[in-house]
Amino acid sequence: MGQRTAQTEKALSVDELANRREWWSVAQKTRSKRLDYLRKGVWKKGAIGGNYAPGIKIDLTLPQLFTEKWQEQEGEPIMLQKAHAIAHVLDNIPIFITDRSQIMGYIGSAPHQIVWHWQGISMVNEEIYNEEGIIPEPEEESLEILATLNDYWGGRTAVDKLARILDPEDAVKFMSGAIGWGTPTSAATYSTKDFTYIFKGFEALLAEIEERMEETEQKLQGNPSPQLLPLYDKLPRWEAMQIVLEASIRYAKRYARLARTLAEHFESDPTRKEELLRIAETCERVPAKPPRNLQESLQFDHFVQVLARYETFEGAWPHRPDYVHGPYYDKDVNQEKRLTKEEALDLVGEHLIRTYEVGIFAPKWAREGLQGITGTWVWTMGGVKPDGSDACNDMTIAYMQAARLVRVSNPTFGFRWHPKVKDEVLRECFECIRHGLGYPSMRNDPVLVANTVHWYGHPVEEARTWVHQACMSPCPTTKYGCQPMRMASATANCAKMIEYALHDGYDPVVNMQMGPKTGDPRQFKDFEEFFGAWVKQMEWLRNILVRTVNLGRVKDPEFFGRPFLSAIYERAVETGTDACDPSNGERGNAWVTGFTWVENADSLAAIKKFVYDEKKYTMDQLMEALNANWVGYEEMRLDFVKNAPKWGNDDDYVDDLMVRCLREVSRHAKENKCPSNNNWPLLPENVSGNIHYANLVGALPNGRRLGDALYDGGISPGPGLDKKGPTAVLKSCGKFDHVTDGRAFLLNQRLSPTQLSGEKGYQLWKAYMKTWADLGLDHVQFNMVDDATLRAAQKDPEKYQEVIVRVAGYSAHFVDISRKTQDNIIQRTVQGLG
């Protein structure tokens, strides 16, 4: 494959390329000239391995504009001060219109620039100062600007403020990097957005705010009482919302002005001139007023997402764009025939590209954990309407088709499968998977709706509106269901539960006493005693993360402030509160992300079998081998790898332990409460945390050594350890309840592209999906790229720029992930179906 000359490659027809399964070449040959130009023109913002691509620079205009206004407004309530600063940015930051583009809006001054959010964490600000390659020229001048900004923000960031009130011991343990990751602030966050409210238009929201303010001012003129006093704090918050909404309308109108200027003074091509005038009309209309057509609805949507990211680092993109934009597509394409399907596809494809081009600086640890992407932007497709009927529409299909044409790795899709999904839609999902995109992930809608009701008490009609809050967790998009802040700062490195149970709470990698002292396992009399130690370590690990995030959450309005998000949150507008204030009616939708989870089940099974049941080894021998990182104990290690029971083989011995662990966690999840007094269920998944934590988790009884990659999924078997085929994997995963035993469970599967070619391949996959659904699993996602292609891409990355793989809860271009992650994906078992 890699030996073909450029000449023969050019000569191959689309059909021939499809037969060779070179879907990236098929895409390049079949997409429109506009999409081809825009796709190839994008600056890649996701880090390659852990580093930014050459030419990517940090945007210094944004923090300078923000800070100069912020300093002028010193002394105001934080939300008002921030609103003034954001408005100053939106009025003054350079904007641009890329040739051939039709959707406007970018976070930053130029396409190759990425922004960073200097109000979040001082340590990240310092990291930027020392990051090679991203400082704009002239470097010396830029470094001086950065130093001035860092001097000012040092001690003033959201996390700096939080750190002053955190328990110092908790802070040290968290900062060790061993037990979890994330930042307990909405400075690094993501938020659900209710477009049924937002699409009323910002002028309507402004009118609503004005009405609230007038009502409140009248109340304040009445009889003085303690009940009136809190109202004084609401007025500046509403004023802050007004300021950002008005600035947002002005920001859109700047694009309208530029488009009109280009049409009148620069553009000679009549077709492009017409497009520019349409862009001008669109940006004059939205977000001020409700959208009337597909271009306006996509533009409104993109402005909202961009504006939210001017306010903060939104690292995920909870959204359901087929549901939001479907009616506009239907009106334009089917009813009024204002757009052809091809023209609509151009807009949809560009929507994906505009999203892909967004770049926000992330610290090194986050870049390693999310290789190749800026954030986990999983868009939700399909599903049901609030009344339970099928919600799939022509836009669902358009997004799937556009995704195969532009082949971006961000956003990806998660498809809400349910029994009423039409075959034509299911085929579109399969085609995306067959084309090697790694998405959509398949989500079991009835299970996840029930799960959402079970864990948080969301009414079923609201639960049915759910979107992926990040990679995996469903969240309703309703007034009281929307979640304004990332709660997954409670991201646990779960392999530490078993490691600490083995080491009396001591961490042998970072050399600190971390968890409680649960005893030397050599002294334990039976497996039950060992399991009891595991439970205590599990509870400790969850508690430290959850209490930190809870504190960060309630303090966020005081330490950070979200005027824009508040202005588009119905409950915040209604109550004059910050959107992140948990007292404004939010029902709660928190979860603990569980990285490196399955190692617990496999390690516990190995200990139970070899140490306690068969007494093949003593605990002393096992501890010696683990303390030596298995060095000098290779024969014993291989015994633990090959002969101890492993998750994913339909073996009750280990599967029962997995179920037992999950039920212990679920019990504890109901004892942990979020600030809205709701539960904290576990959600096992990994992004690329299995690689990030490889050097932070010591030797384990499943035979893993310090430095070896951890298992890749949330409930995926270890690579190469699932020996009994795909149905056995599904059966293992079906032994626990995906409604009550946790929040969601990530399952990676690799399928053979050869076996799944043609109609027969689709039917095989459909039968597999039926088994998956019948067993009640909530999630599965597929890699369907063969080893030969992946190995060729390792050798010649330039030729395989658009080859995509599923990493974990997200997809990435294969050439953008580290060699270790690439090898880990190749090692995954290819499952033969049928």
Residues near another protein, by CB under 8 A: 37-38, 40-43, 55, 91-92, 94-99, 109-112, 254, 257-258, 261-262, 265-266
Dihedral sign computed on CA atoms, order 401, 402, 404, 409? negative
Minimum CB distance to another protein smaller for 57 or for 692: 57
Residue type, 623: M
CA distance 790 to 788: 6
The answer to whether residues 715 and 499 touch, using CB atoms and an 8 Å cutoff, is: no
At 181 the three-state DSSP class reads strand
CA 198 from centre of chain: 22
| Min separation Cβ 773 and another protein, Å | 43
| Min separation Cβ 96 and another protein, Å | 4
Backbone φ and ψ of 749, nearest 5°: -135, 140
The answer to whether residues 633 and 625 touch, using CB atoms and an 8 Å cutoff, is: yes
| Min separation Cβ 290 and another protein, Å | 23
CA distance 297 to 276: 17
Cis peptide leading into 236, omega within 30 of 0?
no
| Min separation Cβ 239 and another protein, Å | 23
| Min separation Cβ 270 and another protein, Å | 18
Minimum CB distance to another protein smaller for 423 or for 798: 798
Q: Please, which residues have CB within 8 angstroms of residue 436's CB and are 6 or more apart in sequence?
A: 21, 23, 24, 753, 783, 784, 785, 789, 803, 804, 805
| Min separation Cβ 90 and another protein, Å | 11
Q: Please, which residues have CB within 8 angstroms of residue 568's CB and are 6 or more apart in sequence?
A: 193, 194, 197, 198, 205, 304
Report the greatest alpha carbon distance in the chain.
Answer: 86
Minimum CB distance to another protein smaller for 95 or for 728: 95
Of the CA atoms within 13 Å of residue 664, those in its CB half-sphere come to 20
| Min separation Cβ 664 and another protein, Å | 52
Parallel/antiparallel/unpaired status of strands 682-684 and 748-751: unpaired
Parallel/antiparallel/unpaired status of strands 180-181 and 491-493: antiparallel
CA distance 715 to 626: 24
Minimum CB distance to another protein smaller for 160 or for 275: 275
Residue with tokens 């394409």: 333
Q: Please, which residues have CB within 8 angstroms of residue 94's CB and are 6 or more apart in sequence?
A: 61, 109, 110
| Min separation Cβ 407 and another protein, Å | 16
Minimum CB distance to another protein smaller for 29 or for 257: 257
Minimum CB distance to another protein smaller for 12 or for 95: 95
| Min separation Cβ 43 and another protein, Å | 6
Minimum CB distance to another protein smaller for 47 or for 490: 47
Minimum CB distance to another protein smaller for 239 or for 357: 357
| Min separation Cβ 91 and another protein, Å | 7
Alpha helices in 154-269 (DSSP H): 158-163, 168-175, 195-198, 202-220, 231-261
Minimum CB distance to another protein smaller for 358 or for 601: 358
Minimum CB distance to another protein smaller for 257 or for 820: 257
